[in-house]
Chain A
Amino acid sequence: MSTIEETSPPTRPRGAEEWSLRAPFRAAHVVIFAVVAGLLAWSAERQGLDNAAWETLRAVTFNEVEGGGLGRASSRLASGFWPLQLAEVSELREDPNKLIDDMPWLARIESRERTRMRVDPDTLETVSVVEIENVMVEPFGYAWRIGARMLETLEMGVQATLLGIVLSVPLAVLGARGYAPGWGVRHAARALVAFLRAVPELVSALFLVLAYGFGPTAGILALGLHCTGFLGKFFAEEIEHADKAPQEALAAHGAGRLKVLRFAVWPQVMPHYLGYVCYVLDRNVRMATVVGLVGAGGIGQELKGRYDLFQFGHVSTILLAIFIVVLALDQVSAWVRTRAS
């Protein structure tokens, strides 16, 4: 345009070696950094992180088992967590010879010596008595049981994700600019979604357990409602950010709002939705173990029970099972994403 020539100064532009360069950082940056670092240090001190760091350092470097609480606790935990418990051991009340024909697969019967402390009724002193007892050992009995509970947990995760999708898609459409029927509806939908996201699943599980009783139903509802809050927000934002040109083109050919949504927006947002759904599924399976702690079904209930009995070998089996499932889900979601894009 000719206007550029009129407004630019008549002097010759400077050579590249004379161009003025900005400093990579200025005094203000240093000040801001110092202030933020100071605030963080103050907050860490308030939270007791300095003590924790010191305890950790002592426990690791001097191996002071007798020292602080952390050293004691961690060494006890570490020894308790190993070996993994895969077997199920149950006491036999009846004569083992009768059972021999219909034993569970791979099970065997062992005789074990067991030392019991007893109060002698005559002397009123505690004495240790050695008894022989018969136990049935199923070598993979516990692993099998964990598998069954893990499957229940996975089912909880899948059902909760499904519930989240079903609830969040309409909420996302109502909350998306351009597709919401009005200002009021859009803000109401957004507020509802934000509310669902704001209530932690553990808290809603506590209440839902009161309403639906112990078991997976309460867990599924708690997880489903929370992930509705998550998916509703991201689904709505994807709808708003979808390329407008195809939407306009379909509208120009007489397609109504819902048809535009179905044929111009849906194909664009679908791969992103799959990504979010994969993440939410992964999260729901992990959180399904957590809501189990308050009695909402799944492997968490088992975990809590074993933890309370100090059976850390069982706990580590459960943790390993969760880890394996999360790892497997990761592979599945990676595969889904490459297929979708």
Chain B
Amino acid sequence: MSGGVRVDLQDVSVIYKGGVVALQGVSLAVEPGEFVALLGPSGSGKSTLLRTINGLVPYTNGEVSVGGVRVGPRTWKVVRAEVAMVFQTAALVPRATVLDNVLAGALRGLDPWRAALGWWPLAWRQEACALLAEVGLREDHLYRKALSLSGGEQQRVGIARAFMAKPKVLLADEPVASLDPTTSRDVLALIRRLAADRKCAVLCSLHQMDLARAYADRVVALRAATVRWCGVMENFDEGVQAKIFDHEHN
């Protein structure tokens, strides 16, 4: 684990089928180990930006690279080995057990015959247990179906799954948008702590200013498919906020 991985976006554009421009000329960089909050109103392109980094959304123009590797159809496997993701609704497999959901983060490395049988190596299962304990779940959660958990618990399982992949970069797509304020703080604190322990960079989209202020090192603000503001947390004041979110400044 020598050093982290740098994420670089150079002048990236994404145009969906039907001509919807989701991103236009976006450039930004995430340094190893830093926590970057991605702010912006709904539809400003936050999700699309995150998804270009691990290749879930192909970009039309520009260049995205992770650790010096250009992201594209041929390099998805390499890139996804470094980049994990946390989703808004956790995106767990609803009928699978909590343990299986966590282990799924490490699917990439599982032998095909073991995958067919669903037979995970014991060491991996123990690692998953350790992660589950770290995100604050208990032994009796292990074999419960994911759909029987509360929203906050599901998101914790989603985080455990992401870190099971041993990422150097974590993409978090509105990880707390469907959680209550207290749980939101807990979950963000958890992401920050786990990422810091593993020297993993985090790019996290949010729409609550106060949470960004509390947990992020740096802010990238998007509006209407372009980056409107980029800087350290201390400079992110009322004026900037109004510029991003207020209709009058459009």
Q: Which residue numbers of A lie inside 8 Å of B, CB to CB?
A: 2, 243, 245-246, 248-255, 258-259, 262-264, 267-268, 270-271
How far, in angstroms, from A248 to B55 measured CA to CA in the complex? 11
Q: Is the CB of B108 within 8 A of A254?
A: yes
| Cross-chain contact of A263 among B54, B76, B104, B162 (Cβ < 8 A) | B104
Instruction: List the A residue with the shortest CB-CB distance to B109.
Output: A254
Contact A246:B77 (CB < 8 A) given known A253-B108, A253-B165, A262-B116: no
CB contact list, B60-107 vs A, under 8 A: 76-77, 80-81, 83-85, 87, 89, 91-96, 100, 104-107
Give every chain A residue within 8 A of B91 (Cβ-Cβ).
245-246, 248-249
How far, in angstroms, from A259 to B115 measured CA to CA in the complex? 7
Q: Is the CB of B107 within 8 A of A255?
A: yes
Count residues of B near A (Cβ-Cβ below 8 Å): 33
For the complex with contacts A259-B110, A271-B95, 7 further pairs of A-B residues with Cβ separation under 8 Å are: A249-B91, A253-B84, A253-B105, A254-B107, A259-B115, A263-B93, A263-B100
| Cross-chain contact of A268 among B81, B94, B105, B247 (Cβ < 8 A) | B94
How far, in angstroms, from A243 to B116 measured CA to CA in the complex? 21
Give, as a whole number of angstroms, the nearest-CB distance from B24 to chain A: 22
CB contact list, B146-188 vs A, under 8 A: 158, 161-162, 165
Give every chain B residue within 8 A of A2 (Cβ-Cβ).
247
Contact A246:B80 (CB < 8 A) given known A251-B56, A252-B54: no
Give, as a whole number of angstroms, the nearest-CB distance from B198 to chain A: 16
How far, in angstroms, from A61 to B110 measured CA to CA in the complex? 73
Q: In this complex, which of B54, B107, B112, B165 has the most chain A Cβ atoms within 10 angstroms of its Cβ?
A: B107
How far, in angstroms, from A258 to B110 measured CA to CA in the complex? 12
Contact A254:B81 (CB < 8 A) given known A245-B91, A249-B91, A262-B118: yes
Q: Is the CB of A253 within 8 A of B56?
A: no
How far, in angstroms, from A265 to B110 measured CA to CA in the complex? 17
Contact A259:B80 (CB < 8 A) given known A245-B87, A246-B94, A268-B93: no
Give, as a whole number of angstroms, the nearest-CB distance from A87 to chain B: 52
